Amino acid sequence: MRGSSVPPSGPAYPGRVSLAVRVIPCLDVDDGRVVKGVNFVDLRDAGDPVALAAHYSSSGADELVFLDISASHSGRSTMVEVVRRTAEQVFIPLTVGGGVRAIEDFDMLLRAGADKVGVNTAAIARPVLLAEAATRFGSQCVVLSVDARRSADQPSGFEVTTHGGRKSAGLDALDWVRRAEDLGAGEILLNSMDADGTTAGFDLAMIRAVRAVTSLPLIASGGAGEPEHFAPAVAAGADAVLAASVFHFAATSIGAVKQTMSAAGVPVR
């Protein structure tokens, strides 16, 4: 087991328990390669996932997230091998998601070396999967990935989506987060589909709204474009900040992000 896979128990800034905020690169893996686009389209090749994972680990990343965007049988087989190879070289916590459909997928990925498993669509289709996984593996292994966007059709103004944000799940995002916590999810990975890949900054209103309804550790994702974007996400309620494009294509570095966050008063490792 690499590093502690148990995330901090509460937000760290401002005026909260002073725990270090995690900086997490996200690697979207398609057929064994890391890719990145805007709103999950116009994908560009960003490199070998194992090599990138090793680079980020040595550059100060606190955790890594792999998302299998192929989500086919062959994609899952490829992903298991990527996880296994990464676990042999990288010793920080690793979350793997995308295409996780059943308790057997949790078991397979954890055995391959993942510390936590992210689940999205399968939990929407069968929410009890969260409870089953938490009972068998512990809540600390269960990460609910929430791809949310603005919608006037939901009471909170935010809806849950699937298929890379292209399809509405017909769920209010805040209600879904509350239910997931009750079922046993141990962490929320909140990705703003409105902000994803835009590099215009995190969706602060969405982060604040989700923070208000859950005590679970909250990872903010979607929209990071420069080091100055990260501290406001923490101020809005995030325990961890996740980014992809800005790291993969060298717009900034983990070191620069941590330095800027620290200067803003955010505790970092």
Q: What is the 3-state secondary structure (H, E, C) of 71-93?
A: CCHHHHHHHHHHHHHHHHHCCCC
Q: Which residue has the tokens 């087991």?
A: 1
* Residue position matching structure tokens 């961890």: 240
Neighbours of 256 (CB within 10 A): 14
Token pair, residue 162, equals: 């699937």
Active site residue 147: yes
Alpha helices in 138-202 (DSSP H): 173-183
Catalytic annotation on 31? no
240-243 and 22-30 as β-strands: parallel, antiparallel, unpaired?
A: parallel
DSSP lists the bridge partners of residue 221 as: 191, 242
Distance of CA 246 to the CA centre of its chain: 15
Q: Which of 42, 55, 115 is nearest to 89 (CA)?
A: 55
The active-site residue out of 28, 194, 203, 239 is 28
Q: Catalytic residue among 147, 172, 196, 203, which? A: 147
Residues identified as active-site? 28, 147
